[in-house]
Structure 1
Amino acid sequence: MSNFLPNELIARLRDESNFDHEAFLNTHAKGDRITSIRLNPRKKAALTMPLNAPVPWCRDAFYLDERPIFTLDPLYHAGCYYVQEASSMFLGHILRSLGLEGASVRALDLCAAPGGKSTLLNAYLGTGSLVVSNEVIKSRVGILQDNINRWGMHNVLVSNNDPSAFSRLPGYFDLMVVDAPCSGSGMFRKDSGAIDEWSLANVKLCSDRQKRILAESIATLATGGYLVYSTCSYSSEENEDILDWIISEYGFSTVALDVAEAWKIQPTLSPVHAAHGYRFYPHQVQGEGFFVGVLKKTQEQETFGRKRAKPEKSPIKKDALRTWLVGDERLYAFMHRDDVHIFPKQYEDDLRWIQQVLYIRTAGTNIGKWLGKELVPSHELALSIFVNAEINAQELTLAVAQQFLRKENLDREVFENAGSGWCLVRHQGVNLGWVKILSNRINNYYPKESRIVHL
């Protein structure tokens, strides 16, 4: 068993006070798989899967007794919940501890894919917040965008930029979350393949990369703003040492968090500045290996000139949008090519500032194509919390909902009581997408690229 995990890693962990390396090894040898989900507070539905104990450090989060096939559940595709590793949900407790729950802030999730922390930010922060969800790896931006779309909020910018690009927005963000790419030792139980890739050389490589990511982006955080830094590594070079380096180089102070003893999260102090860190070990918590620390920026940070732009006249008539949306007085509608997007009105100027310096994959919610006098609704609109509840809609059974998600032909008789034209399809009262009801058939508008291929 002693050879199951890298000897260099075990030797280092043994040096930690009160570390039970035998229990640590036994937990990895068993290979138990922990499954947890976090509910979307803005999409209430009766889940068919039984929820077990709540995740103690995160609101609306639960463990599952067994892992279902989420692909079969229409409510998963509707964005009613997000499947997320429990340890990483500790971000919820951090936001509450910092007094940011329900607050209106500008937040950056710098290394965002696949979207767990961005959707958690959106669930905890106030509706007056702006979340920039960035992913540097182009191939991972698609899944990030899909998960953001499912969550249904309009106050997110999905971007695809190197961290260095954010230095062009100095002093802009109030909150910066960096879940840094790391050597991955905390994922050994979940992904045994990561064991073969681990080495001390890779730890050093990751530590250098983490410093580069932070050095090139940290100016984007405003004075008094918070940096939440985390990894899924056990190596101090990627954790406590990084906190010390940030404090030494960039003028930050450490932030201590109240952590319940029953949670069995291990508090640590960095060797130079006694910065507070928090370690999650899988033999002690019901989750995977994780490290997180919170720092506050004390150094004065210059920002950029924020000139108000002259509002652009939209070619879209408000009356046309009221057919599809609620709360339009809070929304800014703009055109991108032929598509109509909605975005928080209070961040209209911010959008223009950000567009000048970053590559934006998508802004807000794309609600559909504008044909001059009418809107062809998008799938994003169906999943949006702003879609008009008075739109023609049809509830589907589980079997028919799965047919819809496979993008199969649907029986006209199912829709005999629905009106003609565009129709929302629902399961358990939650929107799944659009169909168009014609006299002799139903056109299924579920996105081809998202369809379930196998059931």
Structure 2
Amino acid sequence: MSELKFPEHFIESLKDQPGFDELKFTEVHKKNNPPTSVRINPNKKTGFANTQPIPWCKEGYYLTERPSFTFDPAFHAGCYYVQEASSMFLDTIFRQIKRDYDAPVKVLDLCAAPGGKSTLLASAINNNDLLVANEIIKTRVPILTDNLTRWGNANVVVTNNDPKDFGRLPGFFDVMVVDAPCSGSGMFRKDTAAMDEWSENNVSLCHQRQERILADVYTTLKEDGHLIYSTCSYSAEENEQILDWLCETYNIESVRVAIDPSWGIVETQSERHKAWGYRFYPDKVQGEGLFAACLIKREPALNASTYKSKFQKLNPKEIEPLKKYLLDSDSLHYFKVGDDWLAIPEVHRDSMIALQQALYIKKSGVRIGRMAGKDLLPDHELAMSLLINEDQFNSVALDKEQAIAYLRRDNINNLNTAKPGWSLMTFENHILGWAKLLPNRVNNYYPKELRILSTEARIKSQEPRQ
């Protein structure tokens, strides 16, 4: 950045904020050298050279340089997620509060796209827990769905609903994550265009929107359930003042999160109710601006509605041919959408009934594919899923050049087609997707909407804040 010019009144608005150091804050923005960080999928391990661990996230790492993620097959296989380091603080909060729950939990990520928080939560929950990842804006749902498909978990549902729609599910969720739309000042270093949109009036509008969103979804949280609230803003109006509003409006208590002083996170308290909050400044941490807080609901939830199953009654003989393709197949609930078979852990069957009748669902569990006689026509979700029984399929190991060709949906040269039929295309033992090998050609079934289009070595599928 040749010349740094913050929006009018921006610096003045921060001078009384805890931990704010104008000189160091300004200098770090002038240098404009944000770190590159990734979070590893614990179920699809991969490695990077010369990494440094992110202290507040179990699987998070800083990279010494930014590689070409677009042209890394391991990224497309779901081995890692490119995520801003500060936003990984959710891992510390969630793992601490998870200890309070003996039974399986249901988690809502309300504003989930593009999927950074959702994939983090998917890694942190247990197999018997359920994650509902919701995105309010319809055009952002596909990238959320794609990222969760790559991650591979079966205990995940993606929805596209307005916050007020969750009022149909009173007391349904144990944990609710609201990464609220905000004025975006925490991303000024990575996204200088955000400076043009910042104003004191916009901060006030965001404050009102944040209150409205929280009021709309509050009833869906159980008694003694946890609310994790975060923004990428430095403004007290969008952070500590929201905590005070929550404490005044509802019977809700602040939760203090254990942090290490060496991390550089600034612990704050709201003015009136002394609710705990956690501020990230780029001059104090290796990351961008963030505010996060955790609260616990101390009032009874409304009585939950009862729902009747809309699942088709299926003949067990129809299901039996599917089971050989899946691991732990007897623990799954099978259902159909059109001609496609899907599966979700049986423990979540009743939750799925409620979600189906209350919300608009875009993805649920794992789409297995469709049967053509006795043969399975497999779906891409099955290839990416942790449920897949790889022993039931041929597998073809691709080198880097072949893998990129496959991900572009180009012809794959020098491929051994000795075993015809459906085959898993792999790179360094990680599955990329399907191809059908025929005697004289290879039919590439990598989804058209996911194929690599870029000729430049940069990632386009994810956003500055994740």
TM-score range, shorter chain: over 0.9
Match of 1:429 in 2: 429
Alignment deviations for residues 369-408 of structure 1 (CA, whole Å, 9 cap, x no partner): 2335432101111111111120210111011111100101
- 8 A Cα contact 2:417 2:437, kept in partner: no
1:244 and 1:42 mapped to 2: Cα distance?
39
The residue correspondences of 1:53-452 to structure 2 (distance < 5 A) are 53-100=52-99, 104-306=104-306, 309=309, 312-315=312-315, 317-390=318-391, 391-411=393-413, 413-417=414-418, 419-452=419-452
SS of alignment partner, residue 347 of structure 1:
helix
When structure 1 is superposed on structure 2, of 281-290 and 381-390 the one drifting more is: 381-390
Cα drift, residue 70 of structure 1: 0.5
- 8 A Cα contact 2:169 2:305, kept in partner: no
2:111 and 2:160 mapped to 1: Cα distance?
10
When structure 1 is superposed on structure 2, of 227-236 and 358-367 the one drifting more is: 358-367
Alignment deviations for residues 189-224 of structure 1 (CA, whole Å, 9 cap, x no partner): 010000011000000000000011111111000000
Cα drift, residue 318 of structure 1: 3.6
Alignment deviations for residues 98-142 of structure 1 (CA, whole Å, 9 cap, x no partner): 134997210000000001111111101111111110001000001
Cα drift, residue 321 of structure 1: 1.2
Cα drift, residue 149 of structure 1: 0.4
2:56 and 2:190 mapped to 1: Cα distance?
21
Alignment deviations for residues 239-271 of structure 1 (CA, whole Å, 9 cap, x no partner): 001011111112100000111000010000001
When structure 1 is superposed on structure 2, of 428-437 and 306-315 the one drifting more is: 306-315
| RMSD, aligned CA | 1.8
1:416 and 1:323 mapped to 2: Cα distance?
24
Matched to 2:82, the amino acid is V
Matched to 2:447, the amino acid is P
Alignment deviations for residues 334-373 of structure 1 (CA, whole Å, 9 cap, x no partner): 1001111111111111111111111111211111123354
| TM-score, normalised by the number of residues in structure 2 | 0.93
Alignment deviations for residues 6-29 of structure 1 (CA, whole Å, 9 cap, x no partner): 242211222235532100000011
SS of alignment partner, residue 51 of structure 2:
strand
Alignment deviations for residues 161-216 of structure 1 (CA, whole Å, 9 cap, x no partner): 00000011000000000000000000000100000110000000000000111111
1:51 and 1:272 mapped to 2: Cα distance?
45
- 8 A Cα contact 1:308 1:349, kept in partner: no
Matched to 1:6, the amino acid is P
Cα drift, residue 317 of structure 1: 2.9
Cα drift, residue 454 of structure 1: 3.0
Alignment deviations for residues 271-301 of structure 1 (CA, whole Å, 9 cap, x no partner): 1110000000000000000000000000111
1:420 and 1:242 mapped to 2: Cα distance?
60
1:323 and 1:438 mapped to 2: Cα distance?
23
Alignment deviations for residues 28-82 of structure 1 (CA, whole Å, 9 cap, x no partner): 111112111000011123x3x4242100000111001111110100000000000
Cα drift, residue 234 of structure 1: 0.4
When structure 1 is superposed on structure 2, of 389-398 and 13-22 the one drifting more is: 13-22
SS of alignment partner, residue 317 of structure 1:
helix
SS of alignment partner, residue 279 of structure 2:
strand
Matched to 1:75, the amino acid is A
When structure 1 is superposed on structure 2, of 187-196 and 385-394 the one drifting more is: 385-394
1:15 and 1:310 mapped to 2: Cα distance?
55
- 8 A Cα contact 1:55 1:63, kept in partner: yes
1:110 and 1:378 mapped to 2: Cα distance?
27
1:245 and 1:2 mapped to 2: Cα distance?
38
2:28 and 2:153 mapped to 1: Cα distance?
38
| TM-score, normalised by the number of residues in structure 1 | 0.95
2:4 and 2:381 mapped to 1: Cα distance?
49
Select the structure with the greater relative contact order (CA < 8 A; seq sep ≥ 6). Answer: 2
1:439 and 1:272 mapped to 2: Cα distance?
74
Matched to 1:393, the amino acid is S
1:199 and 1:370 mapped to 2: Cα distance?
56
Matched to 2:55, the amino acid is P
* Structure 2: 5+ residue stretches without partners: 456-466
- 8 A Cα contact 1:100 1:125, kept in partner: no
SS of alignment partner, residue 285 of structure 2:
coil
1:374 and 1:289 mapped to 2: Cα distance?
52
* Structure 1: 5+ residue stretches without partners: none
- 8 A Cα contact 2:311 2:335, kept in partner: no
- 8 A Cα contact 2:342 2:365, kept in partner: yes
Matched to 2:250, the amino acid is Y
1:10 and 1:448 mapped to 2: Cα distance?
46
Matched to 1:399, the amino acid is E
SS of alignment partner, residue 204 of structure 1:
helix
- 8 A Cα contact 1:169 1:303, kept in partner: no
1:160 and 1:87 mapped to 2: Cα distance?
26
SS of alignment partner, residue 385 of structure 1:
coil
Matched to 1:62, the amino acid is Y
2:145 and 2:51 mapped to 1: Cα distance?
29
Aligned residues: 451
SS of alignment partner, residue 356 of structure 1:
helix
